[in-house]
Structure formats: C-alpha cells, structure tokens
Amino acid sequence: DAKTTQPTSMDCAEGRAANLPCNHSTISGNEYVYWYRQIHSQGPQYIIHGLKNNETNEMASLIITEDRKSSTLILPHATLRDTAVYYCIVRVATDNNNDMRFGAGTRLTVKP
Amino acid sequence: NAGVMQNPRHLVRRRGQEARLRCSPMKGHSHVYWYRQLPEEGLKFMVYLQKENIIDESGMPKERFSAEFPKEGPSILRIQQVVRGDSAAYFCASSPQEPLNTEAFFGQGTRLTVV
C-alpha cells in the first residue's frame, strides 16, 4: 500500500545530524510528503510535512528534491531520545482521499 | 485542547467475545483513521471515516470488524468474536476538515489481548 521506500535501519552518533532518506518516485503533483516517528510502542508523533519547498520546524528539516521523487529528513543534533522508527508517507489531501498509508519505516538508533 | 483520546488503553478479551475500542478525536476534528499494529510490525491502515461516513475501509478485514463515527460521540472500532490473531495495538488518528493538508494526530493506542 505504501508509496515510499526507506532503509530498514540506520545508526547515528549522539550529537550528530541524522539524515533519513525516503524515495517516493511515483509521487503526484498534489501529494504531500509527511514524516512521523514512533518511539517504542507509543502513538506515532507528527514531525514535519511539505509539498515541494524545503521545510524546517523546531524538530527537524525536510529537504525535497526538485523532481520531488525523494526527500530527506534531517534531525540536526540527534539525542538518545530520538531513537525511534521513522515513517515517510505521501498523502494527497482532497476531501474524499485523505487517508495515510504507512510503510515499514526506518529504525533509527542513536548511540552514545 | 486535549489530544486524541483512546480508551481503554488495555483490553483483555476471551476468544469469542466482542471488543469495542473508542477514539475521541481532537476538538474540531472531523476525520478519523484507524490502524492496527502487530508486535514488531508496522502500522497497517484499516479505515478512514468522516462524521457519519465511511470513506475508505479497504484495510478492514471482511468479517467481524466494523467501524463507525457518529455525529455525536467517539469513533468506535468493533471486533466481534475475537480470535488470538486480533491481539495487537490499535491506534486512531484525527485531522480537521480544513485545511486538508494539515497533519493528523495520533492517540496512544489500545492494546488488545485475546486469551
């Protein structure tokens, strides 16, 4: 169901930037890219989303390639608490097509 | 503004019983999504509802599972005649009607155990 592909797992050193890639080569013009994460068995947490411009908020930055076929989530200074499964989702938001389909995600482990 | 509330947080049912999982969306949100997560697996989409309407139930098992989101009250995911394979975490998320490209927020889930 998911229209994205992500690496299964990644490691990152504490304090360094974590760069999580996502491929969405079949994305259409009206689909947004969303990132969520799930820490342990908690409910997924929204991180950031964008359409075609790069976005930044207090949690992360989202870099979307010009052709929009891939994107990268950047956690600028990863901490141990950022260890989680990160999900990249493409989602078209029209009134009757607003669902979200998750893939397997990337399991990020931040190491001391 | 309270977040998405799911209850109960933990539910134990014997095989053959019914399970009712409730999801109260955030205030002002009229879209609800339900997901199932088996241990060590990802989130599987089940159903997407708007007030009083099922928009997409393509992820729902054909039998025993149903969902509703009435005009008043929480969204309900109902599982009849539960089996051990129904044991999982069930998450719901909600989003507002407008703007459509806004983020959805998740509850903390209901952990169903069938014994």
- Asked if B96 reaches chain A (Cβ–Cβ under 8 Å), the answer is no
Mean per-residue pLDDT, B58-80: 95
Mean pLDDT (chain B) is: 92
pLDDT for position A48:
95
What is d(CA B100, CA A48) in angstroms, rounded to the nearest whole number?
Answer: 15
pLDDT for position A94:
62
Percent with pLDDT over 70 in chain A: 92
Q: Are the beta carbons of A83 and A108 closer than 8 angstroms? A: yes
Of B55, B102, B106, the CB nearest to A43: B106
Percent with pLDDT over 90 in chain A: 73
Hey, what's the torsion of the CAs at A88, A11, A44, A92, to 10 degrees? 0
Of A44, A46, A93, the CB nearest to B101: A93
Interchain proximity A99–B45, CB inside 8 Å: yes
Identify all chain B residues contacting A46, using CB atoms and an 8 Å cutoff: 103-106
Mean per-residue pLDDT, A24-38: 90
Q: Are the beta carbons of B61 and B67 closer than 8 angstroms? A: no
The pLDDT confidence band at residue A22, using thresholds 50, 70 and 90, is very high
Range of lowest pLDDT (A16-20, A26-30, A77-81, B15-19): A26-30
Of the candidates A80, A58, A96, A73, the residue with the CA atom closest to the CA atom of residue A22: A73
Inform me whether the pLDDT recorded for B80 exceeds 90.
Answer: yes
Identify all chain A residues contacting B48, using CB atoms and an 8 Å cutoff: 98-99
pLDDT in tens, A39-55: 988 999 999 999 988 99
pLDDT in tens, A56-104: 999 999 999 999 999 999 999 999 999 999 999 988 766 555 667 888 8
What is d(CA A38, CA A102) in angstroms, rounded to the nearest whole number?
Answer: 12
Identify all chain A residues contacting B108, using CB atoms and an 8 Å cutoff: 42-43
What is d(CA B68, CA B52) in angstroms, rounded to the nearest whole number?
Answer: 7
Interface probe with B: pick from A98, A101, A102, A106, most Cβ of B within 10 Å = A98
Q: Chain B residue closest to A39 (CA)?
A: B108
State how far residue B87 is from chain A, nearest Cα, in angstroms: 14
What lies within 8 Å, CB to CB, of A8 at 6+ separation is A104, A106, A107
Mean pLDDT (chain A) is: 91
